[in-house]
Amino acid sequence: MERRKFVIQTTLLTGSIAALPFWSIGKYGDGEESVFSLPDLPYGFDALEPMIDEKTMRIHHGKHFKGYTDKLNKAIERTPFANQSIEDILQSISASDTAIRNNGGGYYNHALYFASLSPNPKTRPSGKLMDALERDFGSFESFKEMFTTKALGVFGSGWAWLTKNDVGELAIVSTPNQDNPLMSFVADRGLPLMGIDVWEHAYYLNYQNERNAYIDAFFKVIDWEFVEEKFN
């Protein structure tokens, strides 16, 4: 049985994909079709406390992420997408491919989200990424303020993202529901380097309606080493 790892896509539109594993998730199967698998967390469910509580992590990962995984597999079964990478799927679907759009986006978005968090994170970027943040946003602190504003401004459910384009320019964008900047019909396209889930299921048990407190906590567990690997 073949295992295909989820990998970091380093160039958005040219199709260049690095060999660096993104997380130990991937597709399993024999023959022409394979299925996406739900990974275990690379840390304990309680490892991010008090920033993100254990109960939220268990529900977010074991219910929501699992639900997107299972529904994505069902949606692509016996379709031309059945043996494609998640990046290829997201870049080629149309806005009317509702089930794949919602569940494929949910799968990719949550994979990125959980993989980017750490109980022992690198708390500030450095090197080329820091240079790019200072170039495009003025300073790291200005970036955090702008990212927080964008995440607070998402109406209802959605995501805020740090992205880069094909020439390495950074942008802060948001998408509704489970859309992401890889999708061809999204207005602000780019390669997601990091993303924050601002659906209520990501924070409501601990923070209730205090989304700003959750965003502040997110910045305390986001691992900038991970983000740097995606940028480089």
Q: Is pLDDT of 8 > 50?
A: no
pLDDT in the model for residue 39: 86
Would you list the domain boundaries of the chain?
Answer: 1-27+51-232
Tell me the fold of 1-27+51-232.
minor pseudopilin epsh fold (3.55.40)
pTM summary value: 0.88
- Mean pLDDT, residues 69-78 taken together: 96
Percent of the chain with pLDDT over 70: 85
In the predicted model, what is the mean pLDDT of the chain?
88
**3-class secondary-structure state, position 230:** helix
pLDDT in the model for residue 12: 36
Q: Tokens 């997201």 label which residue?
A: 90
Cβ contacts of 36-45, under 8 Å, gap ≥ 24: 36/69, 36/72, 36/73, 36/86, 36/107, 37/69, 38/65, 38/66, 38/69, 39/111, 39/114, 41/114, 42/114, 42/115, 43/117, 43/118, 43/119, 44/119
